[in-house]
Amino acid sequence: MMKKINFTKAVEPYIEPVENLSKVQRLLISIGVVIVIAGAFTWFSLYPKIEEIQKLSKEYKALSEKLETTKKEAANLAFYREKMKEKQIEFNLVKQALPDNKEIPGLLTSISQAGHDSGLSFLLFKPEKEIPMDFYEEIPVSIEVEGGYHNVGLFLSRVANLNRVVNIRDLRLFPQKDGVSLKTSCTAVTYRFVEKKPEPPKKDNKKKK
């Protein structure tokens, strides 16, 4: 059978030296024990929690900053989408003012008819070579007409009021000997919209190793 251990007798060797100490020494030992216990509690219990709190605080701050950035980007995205819609509407309106290939002959006829209706006599009406630009082509027409000042002014006004864009360039007026009529030369420039086709993907002729 196991012998019963007398706890009091077992701890007496440790208690007796303490009893022999002064009150100040015992007080200092008690304070030391409390400090050790508090330090151990802090190290093993609170310190890991503090580290976890600091880690979560950093993650929270990073997520908050990311959220603010995302909100700003979302606001900018809506702004630029609205701007794109406005520009698309403007582009479509401008595009409507640029005739396509099928309308060019009719437009040239309208320019010629505007001259005749203004009382001018045509000496030259010659479509020139098209000039490619960025997303459109310029279609110049060399024109020479003869008539009075009023007739020329009426012709320019009617061309400006056409549904399609027509610009008059290099306008030159040459008074005739009769002092009434003018010989007028100019270049009427209209425009044709050209929709660029997407470039085909480049083929890689290099053999894959």
Could you read off the pLDDT tens digit of each residue along the chain, which spans 209 residues?
445 555 455 545 555 565 566 666 667 767 776 676 766 666 666 566 667 777 877 888 888 888 888 877 777 877 888 888 887 777 666 666 566 666 778 888 899 999 999 999 999 999 899 888 877 888 899 999 999 888 999 999 999 888 777 889 999 988 888 777 889 999 999 888 776 655 665 665 555 44
Contact 155, 105 (CB under 8 A): no
Nearest to 159 by CA among 145, 173, 180: 145
Helix (H, G, I), strand (E, B) or coil at 194: coil
pTM value? 0.49
* Residue boundaries of the structural domains of the chain: 14-96, 101-193
- What is the predicted pLDDT for the residue at 202? 63
- CA 191 – CA 99 distance, rounded (Å): 7
- What is the predicted pLDDT for the residue at 125? 92
HSE-CB of 34 using CA atoms within 13 angstroms: 6
**Phi–psi pair at 145, nearest 5 degrees:** -135, 165
CATH 2.130.10.10 fits 101-193, yes or no: no
